Structure 1
Amino acid sequence: MVAGSTFLAMLAYSGPLGNVVTLSQAFGSSRAGSTWILASMSVGLAVTLLAAGVVADRIGHRRVFRLGAVVFTAASVVSALAGTTPVFVLARVVAGAGATGMIATGLGLAGAVSAHARHRATTATAWSAAMGAGIALGPLLTGLLDLIGAWRGFYGLLALGGLAVWAGTRRLPGGTGLGRSAPSRRFDLAGFTLLTVFLAVAVTAIVEVRAGGPVTATVLFAVAALLFGALIASQRIGTARLVDPRLFTHRPFQAATVAGFGTGIGVVATMSFACTFLVDGLGMSTLQAGALLAAWSGTSAVAALLLARHTAKVSATVQLVTGLGGVTVGLALVTGISATSGIGRLMPGLIVAGLASGLLNTGLARQAVATVPADDAAMGTGANNTARYLGSSIGVSAASIIATGGDLVAGWDRVVWLGAAASLASAILVTILSRRARTSPAAPPIRSPSSPP
């Protein structure tokens, strides 16, 4: 169930990368509308992931997982029937919120079935492979459907997949963490509301920068700053807390969050921009661009499976640092591309980045759950993925600004070097945080007494 729902969510997330031009033409979208078509599901994911994780840890992972499948299915139906850009964008935002319910709770559900280290490693591998496979097949599928003028069929297939996931949840076993959890603290309604609104405003501001609305973006950033201040104040003076405050000083949790953000702003953002470069810069079709992008994402899925036996023998920190370092090398290899460069010139870098991404995603899946208390597994997954999608939103916005107004081929180099630098900086910071965690004289007792080692 974890692998299937993650695959479906990533399939939905990556699909428009392959045919945003088709969608924009179908709806008669403006430049800002096209930007929102690409960003809409990312916004839904980034805004709701952490909040969904906090709620799931309070009312039960299975409930939120099932609700997420229902919301995802309904939103996919609306996407398939949409006739205007605003309706389609809103449906995609809601689909992202529905996917959140599955992503934030999936690893926690699997962890509740078995706390054995080998089982957790197997789940992390399946999660990583499903993520890579979904991202690889999404653009390919939309590109193929474009050939027969059936772009709406993609969202019909997503709706059927969401319905299948919902039906499968009825067979999930009962047990601790699957139904209603026993909260160790009161639910922080004020903090939950402020967090959700802050993320919504902040991510919208980031997208508006990319859509070309500087005045609107500036106002939204100012509002986001005020909301963030209110959120911090509520956590300091309120009687309830969203999460255990000690987590923010817990080095492993910090390292996992940095790695998630570095993944988003580095390789995910760069590869999200790659289709635009391949189509507009090198003149490829959407199907060709999607197929070439699969050299990265498909390789990451295969790598997660092939390396599973070996990665279980090393720490998750080694996976994170090695993965980020490998991504840096892979991105560096796809610089220096000219308008006459063939596919062979891009393949080595995409494959190296794909191998590293498979290792990196597996490490992120392990650490998202391992660095938080057992009762907060969904929150840990939500926090890690929130960092990833916030990083992706910032990275793609920066890429669009850097590559706009000049030669797109030359702009590609600047975008890639930015992604490589962000990946390398994240690897260095993760290393520093991990070393400080090992040398700390007294790490905070984050994990509850009943939690597995």
Structure 2
Amino acid sequence: MAVVQFMVSVDLSVVNLGLPQIAVGLGFTGAGLTWVIHAYALTFGGLLLLGGKIADRYGHKRILLLGLILFGLASLAGGFSQEASHLVAARALQGIGAAALSPAALALLAVTFPSGKERVRAYGIWSAMNAAGGALGVLIGGVLTEYASWRWVMFVSVPMAAIALALAWRGVADAPPLAPSGRPDVLGGILATAGMTLLVFGVVRTDQYAWTSATTLLTLAGAVILLAAFVYVERTTTRDPLIRLGLLANRSVSGANAYNLLLGGAMAASFYFASLYLQRILGYSPTVAGLELLPFALGVGVGAVFTIKLGNRVERRTLLIVGGLMTAIGFAWFGFISADGSYLTDILGPSIVTSLGFGLCLGPVVSAATVGVAPHETGAASGLLASSRQIGASLGLAALGTAAAERTAGRLTPVGLTDGYALGMTLGAALLIGAVVIAFIVLPRGATEPVEQGTRDLVTEAD
């Protein structure tokens, strides 16, 4: 499961340092280039709930294997793209594959390690691999872009998917489906994905149409209508709903997902702005830029180790508050980048602070979102958590990227571009402060591992 998560995380960040070359190679516009990221994040995030429900219905291992196959084939197709639309379509297919395999993998983890020290250790390892994949993806993308071709940022996922497929085939035990009856709510999955896509589309296009323009207002209104229809379908469907709305009555589940939404939005934007700043402003090559972002992975790993050590003695809520504050401080530091800055003060210093805080957050937020959930709903709860992260990433990148573009306002000089990147990072700090407030107000107190009694109480509350 750690290898699977590493692969998914790598694919979220591996394209970042290849974006300038991808834009030239396939003729992307400035705004259109962000859809290389959005196409993956939106299909991944929008279909995760459906993926989790299908995994509960048809078996976690079976859906995991099918998702890996689709993911590998989509990566291969993306590498052979000849037009911008081809790459965006391939990234969307990758997102569909990831939406199937990711909740299945996390559900297997939750079922295998339901509580106790082993749960803390398992989620710590999972969190470290998740973070390492995201950070190493930047390095891998830089090396491949510089010494091979941007196409290899897509091809590299093919052997990883094959290795993960072989490991899962041999290493994951077969088990009967946890929710063998009922038909998954496909309509709900379509409505959720369409609504989120339209919402992000409306936000991204504010660089062309003002927020108060008829085009933007109609697009956002359409998104709201689709998302409202999704909620209505979930409440009234005769099929097995994607997410039982009563599950959100569990304060731990709802608080963790709200926290995760804001965390995902800030972190996606940080990699995007940092990679562009290193290459366009400081003038580093893709490989060097990737190496210079590597300390971020190390910091996240250290933070994850602290989580493992402290998980039995410190409340998840406390870890999330402390981790969120540290990450916000790192983002605020990023907000002081300048056109004549240096790597040590403008990137390395804030990266260390941000990554340590991020590492403290990852394990506790995953544990909080799945503890107390009935076994037959682990796939749905896992899908909800992963969905909140990816939807947050897409919305955060859209909103912060648009704000950065407005601050730049056509000033494509080092000073103008840096002003935009700095504003994006500062707004990321604001998102993390919001996450800390949610952890303080919403998450229940006293939740540490082991949590056997707490789990029983939360199941009762959720039911």
TM over 0.5: yes
User: Is the contact made by 2:204 and 2:399 (CA closer than 8 Å) also made in structure 1?
Assistant: no
Alignment-derived partner of residue 28 in structure 2? 29
Matches within 5 A, 1:9-28: 9-28=8-27
Q: Kindly indicate whether residue 84 of structure 2 is the aligned counterpart of residue 75 of structure 1.
A: no
**Counterpart for residue 430 of structure 2:** 421
- CA drift of 1:164 comes to 1.6
Aligned partners of 1:124 and 1:365 also within 8 Å: yes
Superposition pairs for residues 187-266 of structure 1, below 5 Å? 187-209=184-206, 218-240=217-239, 241-266=241-266
Structure 2 portions without partners, runs of 5+: 448-453
Most deviating of 205-214 and 6-15: 205-214
The alpha-carbon distance between structure 1 residues 365 and 210, as it changes in their structure 2 partners (threshold 3 A), is farther
Aligned residue number for residue 350 of structure 2: 349
Shift, 1:352, TM fit: 0.8
1:431 to partner: Cα distance: 0.9
- Specify whether residues 219 and 94 from structure 1 end up closer, same or farther in structure 2 by C-alpha distance, changes over 3 A only: farther
CA contact (8 A) 2:124 2:363 kept: yes
Aligned to 1:112: 111
In 2, distance between residues paired with 1:349 and 1:6?
Answer: 26
| Distance in 2 (alpha carbons) for counterparts of 1:290 and 1:370 | 36
Change (3 A) 1:229 1:38: closer
Aligned ranges for residues 288-437 of structure 1 at < 5 Å?
A: 288-305=288-305, 307-346=307-346, 347-404=348-405, 405=409, 406=411, 407-435=416-444
Distance 1:113 1:395, change over 3 A: closer
Could you tell me whether the CA contact under 8 Å between 1:206 and 1:393 is conserved in 2? no
Equivalent positions of 1:4-153 (< 5 A) are 4-153=3-152
User: 1:91 offset after TM fit, Å?
Assistant: 0.4
* Structure 1 residues 368 and 435, CA gap change in structure 2 (3 angstroms): closer
Q: Is 1:447 the equivalent of 2:444? A: no
Pick closer, same or farther for the CA change 1:202–1:61 going to 2, 3 Å. Answer: farther
Q: How far apart in 1 are the matches of 2:88 and 2:196?
A: 18
Aligned-pair CA distance for 1:200: 3.7
Distance 1:328 1:287, change over 3 A: same
**Greater mean deviation of Cα atoms: 270-279 or 208-217:** 208-217
Q: Letter of the aligned partner of 1:162 in structure 2? A: A
Q: Secondary structure at the match of 2:15?
A: helix
Query: Quick one: distance in 2 between partners of 1:61 and 1:11?
Result: 22
- Measure the CA separation in 1 of the matches of 2:24 and 2:267: 28
**Conserved 8 A contact 1:210-1:398:** no
Compute the displacement of 1:213 (Å): 9.5
Classify 1:271/1:151 alpha carbon distance in 2 versus 1 (closer, same or farther; 3 Å).
closer
SS in structure 2 opposite 1:447? helix
Alpha-carbon spacing, 1:212–1:64, altered in 2? closer, same or farther (3 Å): farther
Q: CA deviation at 1:217?
A: 5.2
Task: Give the deviation of 1:306 after TM superposition.
Answer: 5.1
Post-superposition CA distance 1:87-128 (Å, at most 9, x none) = 111101111221222221212112333434222212211111
Secondary structure of the residue that 2:385 maps to in structure 1? Answer: helix
CA distance in 1: counterparts of 2:303 and 2:207, whole angstroms: 33
Counterpart-to-counterpart distance in 2, 1:97 and 1:396: 20
Q: State the superposition RMSD in angstroms.
A: 2.8
Identical pairs, percent: 25
Between stretches 123-132 and 193-202, larger displacement belongs to: 193-202
User: What corresponds to 2:157 in structure 1?
Assistant: 158
Unpaired runs of at least 5, structure 1: none
Deviation at 1:359, TM superposition (A): 1.0
Give, in whole Å, the separation in 2 of the partners of 1:168 and 1:41: 24
Distance 1:220 1:152 in 2: 33
Aligned length: 444
Task: Please state how far the C-alpha of 1:302 moved relative to its aligned partner.
Answer: 3.7
TM superposition shift of 1:210: 6.2
